[in-house]
Structure formats: structure tokens, C-alpha cells
Amino acid sequence: MKKQYLFWSILILCCLQSFAQTGFLGKRVHFQFESKFTPAWSNLNFNHKQGLFCFNYHLLPSVEYVFADRWSVSANYQYFSTGFKADEDTYYSYEGNEKRYYGYVDGDMTAHGCGLNVLFYLSNYAPAGYYLKLGVDAFFYNISVPYTAYDMLKIQGGYSYQNEYVYYNIPGVYTHRDWAMGVRFEIGRNFFTGRYVSLGTALSCGILCKGWGNLIYNSHPQFSDAANKRLLTSYIGGVSIKIGILPF
């Protein structure tokens, strides 16, 4: 008799577990590949063009884990490259008692990053339907700006001194490494075309810890300031399309 009670108790528990669901179709792990488009209206994009129909492209592969019916966490890797305007007529440094000036051309920036996110789904089960996402991102980037060096000499003319630029035609490349962190909010939706494949769209906006001073005004901008400004303008807003798979 006791064995029968034990058997029926285990059977009932198994049935209840089979009807319990955490995540869409009872699955928890969601892999996605995302391409985010950011505008290049006021600055350059990856091929040094700008305009109303010019964009930069960010690549963001990610993995998402559903830990409750409507809640999940995700981690992502980010990569993008872009050009940027140096934002100044001359860049200079002190060498001895003289200023050495550098003529420049537009620079290039390559950025790698990672992010951690928390998602809340408005539908009954994640990761299907509309969602709200809050995340923290970290970027590590390299910039390079070709330049030609020249010196400014003071030439005496009559009773006064006049400035004269003497070009040495010394080509070089200014390089710099930096990092930045930001907070991003996103609203989007995932569509499932079957049991496994998902398609998604999203709108996002973010705040970066660097680049704000140069965005408004900077009386003595440096190349790194211009790069931070470009990173900020590409982070402020974006539109994403996604494709994913929900294997288990």
C-alpha cells in the first residue's frame, strides 16, 4: 500500500513539473546575433562619409538566460570601427621652448566592448514578445590619426616679430588607447518563427561617461577628445535588427 502511495505521489509531481513552464516553451538559453545602426549625420562613418543616409554598424553577438517567466539576464560582445573628425585646425605639443604643430587628416577608431543586461518581458514568457532592457557597457578602443609636423618660428621684421610656419613634411601617425563605460536602455520585441528561430527589432539610447565636454564646446580639443565625442554620438541612439536561436 505504501509503495502505491509513493508511486502515485511521484507520478503527480512529474505531471505538475511537466505543466510548469519557465521561459518560452520551457526553454531558457537564447543566442542572438545583433546588428545595430547608429547615425552618422554630424560625424563620419566607417568609410569616412557623413549624411542623412550614412550609418555606422555595431556587431553584437549575445547569450541570454531566462531565470523567471518574465525575467532574463544577458551578456554580449560588441565590435565596431568608424572614422572621426579631429575637430581642430592644429594639434600641438611643446618640444623644448617651441611649439610643434601638426597638420592632420581624419582619424580612425576601432572599438571592442562587452555588456551585461537585465531584461523584463511584457508577455507571459521570456524571451518572446516585447521587452525592456537595462544594461552596462564597457568599451576599449584604439585611434590613429595621420599627421604632418611643422614648426612655428618667430621672424624679426622691422620693429616686430612675425610668425612664420616652416614645414618639415615629417609624416607620422598619432595613436592612442582609451576606454569608456556607459549605461543603455532598450525597448524591443522578439518574434519566434517556430520553436527555435527568433527575429527581433529594438530601439536603444545610452549615456556614456566621456565625450560630453567636447560635444558642446572645447577650446583646446585633442585627438582623444574627438574620438570620445564620436563614441558618444554613436552610443546615444540606435536601431537594431536581430536573429536568434532558442535551442534549450
Spell out the per-residue pLDDT of the chain, length 248, in tens: 555 555 445 444 444 344 445 556 678 899 999 999 988 887 888 888 888 888 888 999 999 999 888 999 999 999 999 998 875 544 455 555 455 555 666 889 999 999 999 999 998 888 999 999 999 999 999 998 887 665 555 554 555 555 555 555 566 788 889 899 999 999 999 999 878 899 999 999 998 887 666 555 555 567 777 888 888 888 888 999 999 999 88
- Does residue 18 form part of some domain? no
The answer to whether residue 149 sits within a structural domain is no
In a domain, 22, yes or no: no
Q: Is residue 160 a part of any domain in this protein? A: no
The rounded distance, in Å, linking the Cα atoms of 247 and 20 is 19
Question: Do the domain assignments include residue 125?
Answer: yes
Full domain range(s) for residue 49: 29-89+106-144+178-245
Cell numbers of 89, please? 585646425
Q: How far apart are the first and last CA of the chain?
A: 39
Spell out a b/e string for 16-47, using b for 16 or more CB atoms within 10 Å of the CB, else e: eeeeeeebbeebbebebebebebbbeebbbbe
Any domain includes 43: yes
- Can you tell me the distance from the alpha carbon of 176 to that of 173, in angstroms, rounded to the nearest whole number? 10
> Would 8 be classed as within a structural domain?
no
Distance of CA 50 to the CA centre of its chain: 19
pTM of the full predicted structure? Answer: 0.74
By the 10 Å C-beta count (0-12 exposed, 13-18 middle, 19+ buried), 173 is classed as exposed
Joined grid coordinates for residue 7: 508511486
Q: Cβ(233)–Cβ(205) under 8 Å?
A: no
Task: Please give the Cα distance from 218 to 180 (Å, whole number).
Answer: 19
Give me the CATH number covering residue 81. 2.40.160.20
Say how far apart CA 75 and CA 135 lie, in whole Å.
9
Q: Is residue 99 part of a domain?
A: no
Q: Number of folded domains in the chain?
A: 1
